[in-house]
Structure 1
């Protein structure tokens, strides 16, 4: 990481992000061990929610890892991790419903979801180049390269800005569906599902905060070297 005027805020946000990740892990571990009221696995809930919304062509796939769950709009698949796909817990139910929430967004072509999908691949490539462009711009005193790196960091910030409403909306759709179908069961189940999704949402807020302070830091470096 380049040292700049926002180095200390970056360290603070990084530590906060680690704490939030720990909170998410603890929260999911807790509710991942509490059986949901209907005894439905994550895959069962996902299939039910997809079918109730007419998305019979969307497949559910088990993927390795822990909390590696995601929706693939290209392949039209809801990918559920091992701790979600075949487990009948409150946590698994909440995560599965959240991923189906993305499938519902895809069905209506939610603008933010579409934009995020178009940005993902080129942004990934650009962010691999950004640090080298910044370093070359500073060492060679080439302001063009330096500011190109700034633009790429700005694009990363935009990606996180777009991601926030996408993730929040998916969680909202998940909770509305679980409540409407009575899948949460007790008040405890409702609180558990909400706690899991809130913890997950905090990780995206932390990601946005990190992208913001990194962008401001790089912008400060660019200005001082201009």
Structure 2
């Protein structure tokens, strides 16, 4: 009860609201421009393959994956996976998302520093996310300061991963817009819409990072209060 029902829980609520609003915004924006077919008529798959070939990384495979907005680039296997609403669709949303994922593939090919840093941090952050909350909970309940502090440090690794992710995502979107304009895959009227799609997606990463920051702050406050007790 001490961990979950105290005044600091307002930080969790604020974080949850931020993430919810960001997710609603990106979904609404994606849906809006999913109904706007591009004049050029390229599908997400065609755009991805064209961009990768022109960038000299045609060896990267482009595969469909189930779900909505599950698009991602797998640097380990050199595979770009596009969701069902992107792969064969010709909408502004589909093309923008496909180009964004190509941005990650280009980052990988160029050895983009923040992408390499994120890949290096990922295993540690994943491990930290799995042990952080249990350590903090048991540390607070048992009054073991050391255990609580280790849990807080582990949770901080998750936040570090999310912070490093921000420039990776913003850079991928920047690359996508430049390429789409240079290669003429969008008309002048379609580019602002694509920019909105990519900007809305970036908001989810910002909101998630803020939410994690608020949770970390809460754990630090709880730990300090417990130590004073």
TM-score range, shorter chain: over 0.9
Q: Distance in 2 between matches of 1:77 and 1:38?
A: 25
> 1:59 aligns to what?
61
> 2:29 aligns to what?
27
3-state DSSP class of the match of 1:79?
strand
> 2:87 aligns to what?
85
Indicate conservation of the 8 Å contact 1:62/1:81, yes or no: yes
Indicate conservation of the 8 Å contact 1:6/1:213, yes or no: no
Give TM-score scaled by structure 2 length.
Answer: 0.94
How far did 1:5 drift? Answer: 5.5
3-state DSSP class of the match of 1:74?
coil
> 2:176 aligns to what?
174
> 2:39 aligns to what?
37
Indicate conservation of the 8 Å contact 1:6/1:214, yes or no: no
Q: Distance in 2 between matches of 1:124 and 1:5?
A: 29
Structure 1, residues 11-53: CA drift from partner, whole Å, max 9, x if none? 1221122121111111111111211121000000000110110
3-state DSSP class of the match of 2:36?
coil
Q: Which runs of 5+ in 1 are unaligned?
A: none
> 1:191 aligns to what?
192
Indicate conservation of the 8 Å contact 2:124/2:157, yes or no: no
> 1:206 aligns to what?
207
Q: Distance in 2 between matches of 1:164 and 1:142?
A: 34
Q: CA RMSD in A?
A: 1.3
Which deviates the most, 191-200 or 137-146? 137-146
Indicate conservation of the 8 Å contact 1:58/1:78, yes or no: yes
How far did 1:122 drift? Answer: 2.9
Q: Distance in 2 between matches of 1:198 and 1:14?
A: 20
3-state DSSP class of the match of 2:39?
coil
Indicate conservation of the 8 Å contact 1:45/1:93, yes or no: yes
Q: How does 1:137-176 map to 2 (within 5 A)?
A: 137-176=139-178
> 1:101 aligns to what?
103
Which deviates the most, 122-131 or 56-65? 122-131
Q: Distance in 2 between matches of 1:103 and 1:5?
A: 44
Give TM-score scaled by structure 1 length.
Answer: 0.95
3-state DSSP class of the match of 1:78?
strand
Aligned length: 225
Q: Which runs of 5+ in 2 are unaligned?
A: none
Indicate conservation of the 8 Å contact 2:11/2:218, yes or no: no
Change (3 A) 1:163 1:2: farther
Change (3 A) 1:145 1:211: same
Indicate conservation of the 8 Å contact 1:5/1:220, yes or no: no
How far did 1:80 drift? Answer: 0.3
